[in-house]
Amino acid sequence: MDRKLTNIRNLSLEELKESFTEFGEKSFRAKQVWEWLWQKNAHSFDQMTNLSIGIRSWLNTHYYIDAIALQDQQISKDRTIKSAFHIENGQVIEGVLIPTSSRMTACISSQVGCSLACKFCATGRLKLMRNLSAGEIVDQVVYLNNQAQKHYGQNLSNIVYMGMGEPLLNYKNVMQSIDRLCSADGLGISPRRITLSTAGIAKMITKLGDDNTKVNLALSLHAANDLKRNEIMEINESNNLATLSEALQYFHQKTGTRVTFEYIIFKDFNDELSDARELAQFAKCVPCKINIIEYNPIDNGIYQQADSKKVEAFAQYLESLNLIVNVRRSRGKDIDAACGQLANKNKAIAPDARLLK
């Protein structure tokens, strides 16, 4: 990509209008380009057929569109679809379409790789290469929605930022992508259909409250005492449970949104009733629901899936305390598409033109 060109999807509508005015065109042309970019998901200026050839030539001379391309896809026996997307500089990210009887969910990535190195997560073994732009994030949603329509005859019902990367460490671009997904001049998706998942960046959770975000928030907890959480999640050393509790309370006070606690249950690590009691105690900090998630093995991983009877007892104990509890079964495990398994096993090769249709 010519670095002298500007990524047009990084511009606001007002900045785009100013550029058109400087070019000597009426500002409503900028609105037309904006609709092509964010409503019609155009990946080239030549697709913008209601613009003159002169305007399209000017756009090609000054701007580029940071479009992603579908490189590969795998379909699980449970109908989950994992997609590898080719992005700028030959890098690869992954997104997952998760169909269930009641939902059609897109699990999307916010970064190339991840910097947090959680011990149970395959993505955490990849170094952080860069943040994704808002356009690259939105493109994933569009591709996965097209897959949902093609394979299952449905539109997406939910979007979760639970793929590769930590969304709150790419705050600006993630929030811009949410704006484009939810805006009337974007894709018009309800923010209540979107969930941000974080490993626990307290100051950014507070910022979500200050910005009065309307999306849902999920905290990847996995242990409710600092010693155990430090062992599996380095981020807890600088964002301990007391700090997170304070940030979550602030977030709820500002937004009124119930928080989801994600709890992967590991054999002989965090699967005892004593662990459930600690979780119940921590969960008192805000109105919440708890998702207990079975562990998905990764290559050379040191953890194992907890015994089903222990999982059942764990959930029943929490429910006895009137907590809202869901036990989440893994989806797409056979194609390494389940929670914690996204690790770019697909090679970074040129996109297959057959998949771009």
Full DSSP string of 193-259: GEEEEES--HHHHHHHHHTT--SEEEEE-S-SSHHHHHHH-GGGGTS-HHHHHHHHHHHHHHH-PPE
pLDDT of residue 3: 60
Between residues 329 and 42, the one the model is more confident about: 42
Whether residue 323 is predicted with pLDDT greater than 60 in this model: the reply is: yes
Q: Decide if pLDDT at 337 tops 60.
A: no
pLDDT band at 328, cuts 50/70/90? Answer: confident
Catalytic residue among 88, 94, 278, 312: 94
* Cα 341 from Cα 339, distance rounded (Å): 6
- What's the mean per-residue pLDDT of the chain? 90
Q: For position 88, what pLDDT does the model report?
A: 86
For the stretch 31-45, pLDDT in tens is 999 999 999 999 999
Q: Are 171 and 204 in contact (CB under 8 A)?
A: yes
> Residue 353: is it exposed, middle or buried by C-beta count within 10 angstroms (0-12/13-18/19+)?
exposed
Rounded to an integer, the average pLDDT of 147-158 is 96
pLDDT digits (tens, 9 = 90+) for 67-79: 999 999 999 888 9
- 356 has a pLDDT exceeding 50: no
Tell me, what's the pLDDT at 302?
Answer: 80
Cα–Cα dist 211/208, whole Å: 5
CA distances from 285 to 130, 195, 239 (A): 34, 20, 16
The whole-angstrom separation of Cα 281 and Cα 70 is 44
Q: Is the pLDDT of residue 330 over 90?
A: no
Q: What is the CA radius of gyration of the chain?
A: 21
At a CB cut-off of 8 Å and minimum separation 6, what does 82 contact?
73, 74, 76, 94, 95, 96, 332, 335, 336, 337, 342
**Active-site residue identified among 114, 121, 285, 339:** 339
166-177 as b/e: b if 16+ CB within 10 A? bbbbbbebbbbb
% of the chain surpassing 90 pLDDT: 79
Are the C-beta atoms of residues 207 and 196 closer than 8 Å to each other? no
pLDDT category at 336 given cuts 50, 70, 90 is low
- Taking the mean position of all CA atoms in its chain, how far away is CA 35? 24
Mean pLDDT across the stretch 329-349? Answer: 52
Which letter does DSSP use for residue 330 in this model? P
Report the C-alpha gap between 336 and 334 in whole angstroms: 6
pLDDT score recorded for residue 179: 97
Q: What's the pLDDT band for 352 if we cut at 50, 70, 90?
A: very low
Taken in order of first residue, the domains within the chain and their CATH numbers are 6-64 (1.10.150.530), 69-335 (3.20.20.70)
For the chain, the maximum distance between any two Cα atoms, rounded to a whole number of angstroms, is: 70
pLDDT at 303: 86
Dist CA 31 CA 16 (whole Å): 8
Active site residue 339: yes
Residue 106 has pLDDT above 70, yes or no: yes
Distance of CA 260 to the CA centre of its chain: 15
User: 347 pLDDT exceeds 80?
Assistant: no
CB 129 within 8 A of CB 122: no
Q: In which band, very low, low, confident or very high, does the pLDDT at 345 lie, cut at 50, 70 and 90?
A: low
User: Any catalytic annotation for residue 25?
Assistant: no
Whether the pLDDT of residue 300 is over 50: the answer is yes
Which pLDDT band holds residue 64 (cuts at 50, 70, 90)? very high
Which span out of 89-98, 214-223, 293-302 was modeled with the highest average pLDDT? 214-223
| Model pTM score | 0.91
Looking at residue 2, what is its pLDDT?
56
